């Protein structure tokens, strides 16, 4: 938990790191989301209705993605991704008072999404897949979530490699002109790591505060939870709740989740324990 970090101040919102944990609600406009919650082919009213419900339940930001990142997913081209996310973001920007994040690794998609009303870029490839991505985010002066996605196989290399590789990606962002205060890091739970390593990553998450940036934890409904509990994505709410609570206890500032009403309650309870609580 990063109480020593300067707040993220944007024209439409301010996040004061350390005061509480922020909640990012996931809206997938894909047909093949691993969690089974994709809204591809649905009209924008369905997308807006889901996002409104998340905001009413306490989501601080809505993350819109148009391409699945599950293992074995079908890649889509930029045109298809644009057709999925731009109408959704346009409708959401008109309907919601909270910021909208675009979950993409393509600069052309990020740029179009920002024009449509998004105000955060969430790149699961950490600015490495598209050489123009960092420049797009820098020009728009928006926050970026930089994730770690490199394969790691040995537990003794886990924290050193995640720290080193995220550090390099932070340097790439700064060199492109992205402001230090606009950078959020995501250690990539479920990306390039075995189930065993994901659990160690969660247990040692606080060590990543050495990077000096707020941490996003994206554990929601992930395969590691399924491996441990032996359940499908639709039955991972309790497992997600455990990982969200532990992530916050170990230093997370922002959590990305599918089940917003349940996880907002988990966040509030964990914050009360970890950050303090008053009946007023």
Residue ranges of domains in the chain: 20-274
What pLDDT does residue 68 have?
Answer: 74
Measured between alpha carbons, how far is 230 from 129 in angstroms, rounded to an integer? 33
| pLDDT tens-place string over residues 35-88 | 445 455 557 888 999 999 999 999 999 999 998 775 555 678 999 999 999 999
Active-site hit among 222, 227, 236, 275: 222
User: Among positive and negative, which fits the CA dihedral 190, 191, 197, 198?
Assistant: negative
Tell the residue number behind the tokens 């998004």, with chain if given.
118
- The residue annotated as part of the active site, out of 256, 265, 268, 275, is 256
Are 243 and 205 in contact, with CB atoms under 8 Å apart? no
Instruction: Please tell me the predicted confidence (pLDDT) of residue 4.
Output: 85
Each residue of 131-154: pLDDT tens digit? 999 999 999 999 999 999 999 999
State both tokens at 46. Answer: 């369905």
Domain 20-274: homologous superfamily in CATH: Dihydropteroate synthase-like (3.20.20.20)
- Per the CB < 8 A criterion, the answer to whether 196 and 155 are in contact is yes
The question of whether 193 is a catalytic residue gets the answer: no
b/e 197-230 (16+ beta carbons within 10 angstroms → b): bbbebbebbebbbebebbbbbbbbbbebbbebee
pTM for the whole structure: 0.93
């Amino acid at each position: 938990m990063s109480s020593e970090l300067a707040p993220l101040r944007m024209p439409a919102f301010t996040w004061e790191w350390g005061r509480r944990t922020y909640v990012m609600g996931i809206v997938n406009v894909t047909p093949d989301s691993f969690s089974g919650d994709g809204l591809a082919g649905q009209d924008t009213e369905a997308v807006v209705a889901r996002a409104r419900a998340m905001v009413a339940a306490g989501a601080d930001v809505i993350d819109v993605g148009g391409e699945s990142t599950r293992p074995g997913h079908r890649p889509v081209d930029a045109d298809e991704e644009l057709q999925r996310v731009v109408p959704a973001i346009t409708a959401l920007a008109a309907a919601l008072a909270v910021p909208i994040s675009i979950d993409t690794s393509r600069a052309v998609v990020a740029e179009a999404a920002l024009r449509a009303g998004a105000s955060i870029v969430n790149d699961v490839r950490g600015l490495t897949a598209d050489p123009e991505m960092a420049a797009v985010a820098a020009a728009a002066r928006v926050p970026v979530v930089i994730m770690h996605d490199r394969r790691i196989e040995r537990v003794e290399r886990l924290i050193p490699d995640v720290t080193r590789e995220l550090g390099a990606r932070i340097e790439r962002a700064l060199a492109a002109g992205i402001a230090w205060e606009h950078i959020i890091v995501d250690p990539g739970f479920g990306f390039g790591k075995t189930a065993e390593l994901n659990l160690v990553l969660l247990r040692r998450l606080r060590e990543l505060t050495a990077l000096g940036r707020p941490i996003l934890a994206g554990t929601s409904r992930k395969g590691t939870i399924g491996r441990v509990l032996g359940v499908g994505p639709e039955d991972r709410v309790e497992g997600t709740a455990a990982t969200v609570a532990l992530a916050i206890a170990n230093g997370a500032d922002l959590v990305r989740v599918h089940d917003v009403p349940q996880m907002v309650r988990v966040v509030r309870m964990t914050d009360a324990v970890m950050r303090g609580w008053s009946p007023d």
